[in-house]
Chain A
Amino acid sequence: MIAWVFWLVGLLAVVDAVRHSEALWVAAERNKGFWITLMVFTGGLGAVMYVLALRPRLERVAIDDSFLDPNPWANLTSRISTLAGHLTTNDR
């Protein structure tokens, strides 16, 4: 039961970490990739460290949202279509 709780907390923490934009992580002077990897490999322990130490820091950071991508998912789909275009071109 405790293992399941730890696993769930770990999963939620990873989802929460992914949800915060990389710009916010850079402004908080922390490495997003490192922390997500740490949480994946250490499970609940990394998640507890994230929730106690890092998440409050991410929430505290205030960045000017002037240039934040208004729709990062549109950006992602445009990147995927560009990548697919490159692959198609290279296949010919």
Chain B
Amino acid sequence: MSLRLPGGDADRLVGRSKPPFDVLALRVGDDTEDPLLYPLVGEGPSLVAAEPGDGTSSRAAVAKGLAVAEAYPRRDQHLGGVSNVHIRVAVTDSRVTFACDKYEKGGGWFGLGGQGVAVAAVANVASRAAAARRRRDKTLVGHVRHSWLSMIACRRPSGLVGGDILRLGMTEAVGGNVRGLVVTVTFPKGIDGPAVASEILARAVADRLRQPVDDATADTLGALAMAAPRLDTRGPDFASVQIPGALPATNQIDGRLGQ
């Protein structure tokens, strides 16, 4: 399997025996390595192969940006991501999946005057063809399982431009050390970010309540399930909800995954 993060150091993960888990990966062909950490490519609108735990009532959204960052108290460290592309987001009973088959588009050249426009047109065609060649047979995929989810946050930009932004917080312990990760999803205008956040929250809480949890966690989850809050995004900051009882992402079957 070739694991690469677009926007990061492209090949830094290839050949590592214990790669850090960065949520996103490029799946090549019918590669099936690490299915717990990265979704398998499948047919259908979501581009992700269904798992038994996904249920039959998944809901889909369109996003135009996806970024993964390592969480730090003062400023998150960007690990990789894509922007201005068509990302298929699906919310299932067990996870939130992301997939993009045109993660690299090429183009972007422009010119002034007759000759400039002609040169830019040729450069754009060549650039798009090269991008199509590079991404052939590859799909950018990623997922956040509900059992990993520790925080959901959403913000609606106060300006007139820009779409809603969703943040999913989790921890991972794949490389041995535990570290926090934040997945940021940028929606185009017209997609109701708080509605997506509420759907993920409801399904994550339901997923966690199906597992054995201590009384305090069960009480908090029960309150969340009863309230089914829609995040109040009227303020300038992210509105967020903490979900207790999250497990760190690992490549070990912990008895709670894929149920």
Contact = CB atoms under 8 A, between A and B. Distances in A.
Interface in A63-92: 63-64, 66-70, 72, 75-76, 78-80, 82-83, 86
A16 interface: no
Given A26-B188, A27-B86, A79-B158, 9 more contacts: A23-B188, A64-B45, A64-B60, A67-B196, A67-B199, A68-B191, A72-B190, A83-B158, A83-B159
A66 B59 contact: yes
Nearest to B235: A82
Contact of A70 (B61, B156, B192): B192
Contacts of A23: 62, 187-191
Contact of A26 (B64, B157, B234): B64
Nearest to B187: A23
| Residue from B63, B158, B199 whose CB has the most chain A CB atoms within 10 Å | B158
B195 interface: yes
B73 interface: no
B81 interface: no
Contacts, number: 73
Contacts of A64: 45, 59-61
A24 B160 CA distance: 18
A30 to B, nearest CB: 10
Q: Is the interface of A mostly helix, strand, loop or mixed?
A: helix
A22 B163 contact: yes
Given A64-B59, A67-B61, A82 B189 contact: no
Chain B interface size, under 10 / 10 to 19 / 20 to 34 / 35 or more: 20 to 34
Interface residues of A, number: 25
Interface in A15-61: 21-27, 29, 31
B236 interface: yes
A79 B61 contact: no
Given A26-B64, A64-B59, A64-B60, A69 B192 contact: yes
Residue of B160, B190, B191 with highest tally of chain A CB at under 10 A: B190
A79 B191 CA distance: 14
B102 interface: yes
Contacts of A80: 160
A36 B82 CA distance: 24
Interface string B229-255: 000001010000000000000000000
A67 B59 contact: yes
Nearest to B193: A67
A72 B189 contact: yes
Given A64-B59, A79-B158, A21 B189 contact: yes
A69 B9 CA distance: 36
9 contacts: A21-B188, A26-B64, A29-B86, A64-B45, A64-B61, A79-B157, A79-B159, A83-B158, A86-B158
A68 B192 contact: yes
Interface in B158-212: 158-160, 163, 187-192, 195-196, 199
Nearest to A67: B61
A33 B32 CA distance: 39
Contacts of A68: 190-192
